[in-house]
């Protein structure tokens, strides 16, 4: 990952059998365990769900509850459980990385 490479931090991915409740990576520097990392990628694909019966040229107003806050809270809660599975006493840092697939997000603020 771009953040870790320049600092000489090596990521080790948990194996498939180990992965169940564990975070995505263990972090090592100079051969020593220095932390854990979980990567979450919240999606908002629901925004593009259109009614199947919408006719060409037809306009329709639809109000939806924005689930972004709930989805983000779910991702954080799952990551916390994954970190607790391997690092319950927080002997090393737990790092949660949230990845956005939205292009140009930073340029809009």
Residue 87 has a pLDDT of 96
Q: What is the pTM of this model?
A: 0.70
Strand order of the β-sheet with 25-29 is: 10-13, 25-29, 32-40, 94-98
Rounded to an integer, the average pLDDT of 5-14 is 90
> Which tens digit of pLDDT belongs to each residue from 34-76?
999 999 987 766 666 677 888 888 888 877 777 777 788 899 9
Backbone φ and ψ of 68, nearest 5°: -55, -50
Instruction: For residues 84-108, give the mean pLDDT.
Output: 82
């Amino acid at each position: 990952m771009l953040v870790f490479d320049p600092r000489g931090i090596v990521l080790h991915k948990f194996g498939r059998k180990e992965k169940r409740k564990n975070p995505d990576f263990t972090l090592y520097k100079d051969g020593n365990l220095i932390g854990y990392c979980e990567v979450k990628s919240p999606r908002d694909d629901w925004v593009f769900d259109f009614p199947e019966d919408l006719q060409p040229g037809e306009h329709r107003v639809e109000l939806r509850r924005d689930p972004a806050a709930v989805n983000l809270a779910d991702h954080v809660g799952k990551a916390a459980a994954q970190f607790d599975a391997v690092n319950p006493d927080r002997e090393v840092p737990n790092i949660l990385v949230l990845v956005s697939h939205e292009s140009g997000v930073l340029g809009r603020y």
